[in-house]
Structure 1
Amino acid sequence: MAIMKSEDIMGEPHFDKPRHIKYWTRCLKTLLPHQYTSNESNRMYLAYFIVSALDLLGALDSVLNEDERQGYIDWIYRCQHPNGGFRMWPGTDFGAKANPKNARWDPANIPATYFALATLLILKDDFKRINRRLTLIWLSQMQRSDGSFGETLVSGRVEGGQDPRFGYCATGIRYILRAATEGDLSIDGQVVKDVDLDAFVRCVRVAEAYDGGIADAPFHEPHAGYTFCSLGALAFVDRLNTRGLPTEQPPTAPCHPQSVLSWLVCRQTELADPDAGIDSEFVAAQDTRDTRKKEDGVTSEAQADGTVPAHQDPECSAGVTIFDLLVDGAGMNGRINKVADTCYGFWAGASLHIMQQPNLYHHEAVRRYLLGKTQHPVLGGYGKFPGDLPDLLHSYLGLAALSLAGHDQVKEIDGGMCLSKEARSRLPAIWESFADSR
């Protein structure tokens, strides 16, 4: 058996950038796997992941020619709703057959609008075709009296959940189309009312949990995804409290930033395998293996074939080596007592960056988890858990988390907007063009 050198054991796993570029290029230019057929009506967010991933990899300009780039921009505008906002895909557009009766089947969508605007920003669009006034009017109609935002507006009624995901996307739309300034705007000679920011901040406050995380609603379990969305939304509207007691004029949140930071730090975990539960069958099997090892003269934790059980049953894994011991314990989870998951490297990590405390988690450990455990060695991309096939969500957020953790082969990401800092840097010029067009 070959002897593993210490530098091979302790060195950071390799990031196979060409393989990742190939994975995302295949996603962009060929058909997605059949599992995505049911997501056809969510095509806007799939497009966002693909385009933004290639941007983070520094490959977008080489993968796309100018005609293709303009074609993708035109497709996004094809999804713009005539009453403001964007659809998730053009399949609900009735065109000449649209009427008040079938309008309820073709609403604009809050997440779709944020993803559309963010993707246009990445594609270097000038935003001149955005119906800014109608979109901001529609956005104000998407807020409920309790401060929360919904997903769609159907027959005058706000539909969808009341969790922070919609609040994040809504405030992100507002930020892209008018920056963080507060108050009503005059656009094309008409007054456009602002959303109720005070009510939104109160909505976030009541969802803060006793242990520091932020949930989707009062008294619910906190979650790293909801925490990110809440903190990101507060940053978009310049109401984020990063230290001490929150202000009341204007109201800011979270109320206890130190508790939020403590909760986020505790999301880094050594639990890595979702199939590693300890039950009676496992204990019985382990006892049998221990007896067999003693009979074979193996007295240490090492297996006869040189592998190590780590924190899991080796027979439930794809083969655990001593290297797995070293990369275990680096991931992030989304809730207390859960295993690590690729996407939470971003949700929890980005939350710490938004709170201006990017060094409170172990960056190298996150990189080792992503590269050594969930990076797919054949297809590229990232799976949810070790050994999983890659999917678009985890493959994109794996890259985003890797960027936050300081990997030099991925562009710097803006954690608050979940896209490259280079793309976000185009916003001031767009805001200036809005001011010139009034």
Structure 2
Amino acid sequence: MAPIEAANIMEPCLDKTRHIKYWTRCIKTFLPHQYTSNDSNRMYLAFLMLSALDLLGVLTTTCSTEERRDYANWIYRCQHPRGGFRMWPGTDLGERANESNAKWDPANVPATYFALASLLILGDDFGRVRRKDTLRWLRRMQREDGSFGETHVDGQLAGGRDPRFGYCATGVRWMLRGSRKEGRLMVDGDQVEDINVDALVECIRNAESYDGGIADQSLHEPHAGYTFCSLGALRFMNRLPTSSTKPTDTRRAPSNPQEVIRWLAHRQTDLLDPDATQDSEFIGAHRIKNSQPVPPSQSATEPPPLTLHQSPDKSIITPFDLHTDGAAGMNGRPNKTADTCYAWWVGASLHILGQPALYNQQAMSRYLLDKTQHPVLGGFGKFPGDLPDLYHSCLGLAALALAGGGGDVKEVDAGMCVSKEASVRLEALWKRWDDEEISR
């Protein structure tokens, strides 16, 4: 039998019909029994479903106007009377709520981010959001060292000190404050105290690792997820360094953007088998001389992109020849196998830093479409051959959108994991709030 010519091998493509069926089944029927343990995380699951359907461009056709209104009403049903949102309505004690049982029904920082982002996707005008109460509650969720907790229970902040909560907190602040200057803000005629931005920036700087990645805290191993959350938080606060940054400027991070970019670029790997023993991520290393950033499309909802000027002795080394024909995903740490979710965490981080050209987007797309896209059910699995799940299926779509998407998915906001079509709606909200304050 004659060998098949490489040129005749068809490129894998997004089976959009199956993905739509997968997400329609998820949002309109019972989820698989494995999700029972995540019942108290429904706001997070709702965000994944709404964002995915929006990225596929079918939210308004798959879900009727009445259904989308019901989704928004359910989200507002989870709003806490003291500000912020719950992860689900199951903790709402209603008329039985009092000071003694308040610890069983706290507002939740990640839930608040997912709730607001979901409302944005649904085209809601935030008219029922307790904006002033939420911003005041958010200030109480910050520790003295700059980190954020997840909930406030019995006078104590619960939750770790990692960047996930800082990312969600600054995302909430970004959506409810916009690009206004730091400091006190007039909301509904009252002044609202801002978070301590400098302290959070310092917290992120302290978590930087010697090799360029960012960890959850000082001296811990860096991780792509933590790196994204740190960079995303800095983007929300407009504290990423630029080429014009001066020592006298406000505190910024990361302290060495070049090393962060280098670390991120080395996360692309063709090691796809979790049981393999040899990591080939450095095979075929390719040095890019004098590479210049490719500026992302800009809107009023996006802070200025990072602009770097590189010299030949500080060129970025990427682990893959940019002309490779193979599939190459991303890992979250050195010497680990590729995983669908890191296609987003790493790819989006490079886009936030204004360096989308420093990973092989074609190889990334091939990894997602040929290796982890499920050929029967639609969606994406964690590893090749795995069943799809909401988390990896949504982030796989978002990562594909970063890499172009072939016209099958909408453009995605790299800082928010929602479509750019959704994120630009913030501009009208911010203008409305400004006009309301001026008219008071």
* Contact 1:234 1:240 (8 Å CA) reproduced: yes
Match of residue 80 from structure 1 = 79
Map 1:140-289 → 2, pairs under 5 A:
140-181=139-180, 182-243=182-243, 247=247, 249-277=249-277
Larger radius of gyration: 1
Task: Please give the secondary structure, in 1, of the residue aligned with 2:357.
Answer: coil
Partner of 2:347: 349
Q: State the Cα deviation string for residues 254-299 of structure 1 (Å, max 9, x = none).
A: 0000000000000001111102237xxxxxxxxxxxxxxxxxxxxx
* Alignment deviations for residues 223-282 of structure 1 (CA, whole Å, 9 cap, x no partner): 00000000010000000125587745310000000000000000001111102237xxxx
CA shift in 2, pair 1:244/1:183, >3 Å: closer
The letter for the 1-side match of 2:208 is: E
Question: In the alignment, residue 397 of structure 1 is paired with which amino acid?
Answer: L
| Residue-pair matches, total | 390
- Residue 296 of structure 1 corresponds to none
Selected match of 2:397 from 396, 399, 411: 399
- In 1, are the aligned partners of 2:240 and 2:254 still within 8 Å (CA)? yes
For residue 69 of structure 2, what is the aligned residue in structure 1? 70
**What's the secondary structure of 2:191's corresponding residue?**
strand
Deviation at 1:70, TM superposition (A): 0.4
Deviation of 1:342 (Å):
0.3
1:291 matched to which residue of 2? none
**1:365 corresponds to which residue?**
363
How many angstroms apart in 2 are the aligned matches of 1:218 and 1:127?
Answer: 37
Shift of residue 35, structure 1, vs aligned partner: 0.1
Runs of 4+ deviating beyond 6 Å: none
Equivalent position of 1:7 in the other structure? 7
1:331 shift after superposition: 0.4
Q: Which amino acid aligns with 1:357?
A: Q
1:246–1:252 CA contact under 8 A, matched in 2: no
- Aligned partners of 2:433 and 2:33: how far apart in 1? 41
**2:372 equivalent among 371, 374, 378:** 374
Match of 1:437, SS state, is: helix
Taking a change above 3 Å as real, the CA distance of residues 247 and 375 of structure 1, as seen in their structure-2 partners, is farther
- Aligned residues of 1:244 and 1:257 also touching (Cα < 8 A): no
Q: Which residue identity lines up with residue 66 of structure 1 in the other structure? A: T
Cα distance per residue 1:347-386 (max 9 Å; x no partner): 0000000001111101100000000100000000000000
Counterpart of 1:312? none
Task: Report the counterpart of residue 388 of structure 1 in structure 2.
Answer: 386
Distance of 2:30 and 2:3 partners within structure 1: 43
Call closer, same or farther: CA 1:242–1:231 in 2, change over 3 Å: farther
* SS of equivalent residue, structure 2 residue 186: strand
Cα 1:359–1:326 change in 2 (3 A) is closer
CA contact (8 A) 2:86 2:111 kept: yes
Contact 2:325 2:363 in 1 (8 A): no
Give the Cα separation in 2 of the matches to 1:247 and 1:422: 36
Q: Is the 8 A contact 1:246 1:254 kept in 2?
A: no
Gaps of 5+ in 2: 279-323
Q: What do the CA deviations read for 1:116-158 (whole angstroms, capped 9, x no partner)?
A: 0000000000111000000000000000000001100112211
CA distance in 2, matches of 1:4, 1:345: 30
2:224/2:264 contact within 8 Å kept: yes
Cα distance in 2 for residues equivalent to 1:41 and 1:255: 38
Q: Which residue of 1 aligns with 2:303?
A: none
In 2, Cα distance between equivalents of 1:243 and 1:204: 20
Contact 2:401 2:410 in 1 (8 A): yes
Distance 1:201 1:248, change over 3 A: farther
Which SS does the other structure have where 2:90 is aligned? Answer: helix
Matched-pair contact (CA < 8 Å) for 1:52–1:419: yes
Unaligned 5+ residue runs, structure 1? 279-324
**Contact 1:244–1:256 (Cα < 8 Å) also in 2:** no
**Counterpart amino acid of residue 387 in structure 1:** G
SS at the partner of 2:115?
A: helix
Distance 1:248 1:388 in 2: 51
Residues 271 and 338, structure 2, Cα contact 8 Å, conserved in 1: yes
Task: Tell me how large the CA RMSD over aligned residues is.
Answer: 1.5
Letter in 2 for 1:389: L
Displacement of 1:398: 0.2
Show the 5 A alignment for 1:91-170. 91-170=90-169
Give a deviation string over 1:313-348, Cα, whole Å, max 9, x none: xxxxxxxxxxxx9544x1000001101000000000
1:313 alignment counterpart = none
Q: Aligned in 2, Cα 1:162/1:208: closer, same or farther, shift over 3 Å?
A: same
Residue 147 of structure 2 contacts residue 200 of structure 2 at CA under 8 Å; is this kept in 1? yes
